[in-house]
Amino acid sequence: MAEKQMSASGSPRRAGVLLRASRRLAAVAAVIGVGASAPMLLGSGTAAASTLVPCTYGPIGSRLEVDCTDNDYTPATVTINAFCTNFANISMPPTRMGPRSRMHFTRDCGPGANPIFWLVNGESDWEKVQDQLDQMRQDQQDRADQHHHDDH
């Protein structure tokens, strides 16, 4: 029934192709999600989950619901990247949250669509500084190793 709707170009065939492509994308995301490990749900996950700014998240109908808690004494940043079965990008720019606070986020795909991929990340300012210091130490070690290698 939906495959016979006219697309923007006026071609019922093109509308059917787009609909089938979106169904395939949803199926691929579901298969990836089924085979994924613990924090990965239906093609989603976190890059490196924060212990100081944990976020819980998941789809509810057409929405992606996210709750984050900043347990640190420094502010934090929450980033949400998400896509839907209708190809909508429901990502949001990095959002700041106060220390020792909680925030709730809702991202909606719209009628008839569902979130199929999301990446949620919370990071306190302290964690970010520690990551930067670790990277600087690693870069310094890499340069020292390269210098030592060049001498031999």
Work out the pLDDT band at 124, boundaries 50, 70, 90: very high
Backbone angles phi, psi at 17, to 5 degrees: -60, -45
Work out the pLDDT band at 15, boundaries 50, 70, 90: very low
pTM: 0.63
- Quote the distance between the C-alpha of residue 94 and its chain's center: 11
Both ends of the chain: CA-CA distance in Å? 72
Work out the pLDDT band at 150, boundaries 50, 70, 90: confident
Beta carbons within 8 Å of 57's beta carbon, 6+ residues apart: 41, 44, 64, 65, 66, 67, 118, 120
Beta carbons within 8 Å of 50's beta carbon, 6+ residues apart: 76, 121, 122, 123, 124, 127
Backbone angles phi, psi at 34, to 5 degrees: -65, -35
Count the Cβ atoms, other than its own, within 10 Å of residue 122: 26
Work out the pLDDT band at 10, boundaries 50, 70, 90: very low
Residue 22 has pLDDT above 80, yes or no: no
Separation between Cα atoms, residue 122 and residue 109, nearest integer Å: 22
Separation between Cα atoms, residue 128 and residue 93, nearest integer Å: 17
- The pLDDT of residue 50 is 83
Beta partners for residue 92, in sequence order? 80
- The pLDDT of residue 147 is 78
Separation between Cα atoms, residue 119 and residue 126, nearest integer Å: 21
Residue 85 has pLDDT above 60, yes or no: yes
Average pLDDT over residues 68-93: 97
Of the candidates 97, 106, 41, which has an alpha carbon nearest to the alpha carbon of residue 69? 97
- The pLDDT of residue 125 is 96
Residue 6 has pLDDT above 70, yes or no: no
- What pLDDT, in 10s, does the model give residues 47-80? 567 889 999 999 999 999 999 999 999 999 999 9
Q: Are 86 and 110 in contact (CB under 8 A)?
A: yes
- The pLDDT of residue 39 is 32
